[in-house]
């Protein structure tokens, strides 16, 4: 029934969000903007260029271009994630679960392809995935569905027969708009935010996802097919 499992990357497979925030704080300081963790969390899950534009519109600066700031954040994140990031809890187990069930896996990320490959090698999980796809190669980034639809197309599967795992609200909107079954894995600080009610299933960590939940999702898909 389930034709593929598609995973977001940042904050879901790799514990990268602290490094993104660390780099953002450092780079925004170069344009006179003093950030903190709470400010950075407001834009979690958004593409980097959207984050930079968001803060520029609120607190315009004049000593550097938006493009330079964006490039510095991306490069800084590459460096720190490639050297220091580890997997989120439950990553090896959930990948093994889907491998044992014979369900192909893919990554659909808002991050550029180079960063996706940095993470695959850093976590040594490249062999689990049939393919990985970046929203930067699509016309529109998350929260639009393009990257999920593009990933399904590349896999040769039907979007509504896929399970998508997401940790951010914008990513969840993206997968939901692609008409996929969705599993949200919010961070602790926003677990109770109503924006995650959109998900088919919400869990506190990938460690909480079980074979029985996979079977329940398959049953939901069966029921959906009957009513179509």
Cis peptide leading into 143, omega within 30 of 0? yes
> What amino acid positions are annotated as catalytic residues?
8, 10
Q: Number of C-alpha atoms within 13 angstroms, CB side, residue 87?
A: 17
Q: Which residues contact 155 (CB under 8 A, 6 or more apart)?
A: 3, 4, 104, 106, 130, 131
Of all helices (H) and strands (E), which one includes residue 129? none
Three-state DSSP at 182 gives: strand
Residue in 62, 76, 60, 65 with CA at minimum distance from that of residue 26: 76
User: Which two three-digit tokens encode residue 150?
Assistant: 């593009």
């Amino acid at each position: 029934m389930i034709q593929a499992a598609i995973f977001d990357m940042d904050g879901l497979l790799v514990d990268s969000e602290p490094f993104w925030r660390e780099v953002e704080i450092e780079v925004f300081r170069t344009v006179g903007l003093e950030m903190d963790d709470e400010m950075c969390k407001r834009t979690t899950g958004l593409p980097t260029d959207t984050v930079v534009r968001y803060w520029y519109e609120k607190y315009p600066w004049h000593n550097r271009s938006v493009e330079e700031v964006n490039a510095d954040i991306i490069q800084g994140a590459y460096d720190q994630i490639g050297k220091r990031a580890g997997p989120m809890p439950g990553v090896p187990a959930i990948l093994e679960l889907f491998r044992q069930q014979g369900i192909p896996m893919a990554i659909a990320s808002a991050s550029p392809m180079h960063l996706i490959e940095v993470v695959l090698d850093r976590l040594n999980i490249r062999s689990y995935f049939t393919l990985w796809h970046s929203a930067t190669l699509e016309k529109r980034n998350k929260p639009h569905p393009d990257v999920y639809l593009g990933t399904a197309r590349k896999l040769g599967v039907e979007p509504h027969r896929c399970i998508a795992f997401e940790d951010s609200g914008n990513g969840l909107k993206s997968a939901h708009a692609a008409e996929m079954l969705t599993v949200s894995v919010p961070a602790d600080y926003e677990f109770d935010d109503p924006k995650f009610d959109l998900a088919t299933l919400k869990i506190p960590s990938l460690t909480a996802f079980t074979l029985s939940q996979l079977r329940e999702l398959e049953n939901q898909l069966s029921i959906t097919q009957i009513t179509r």
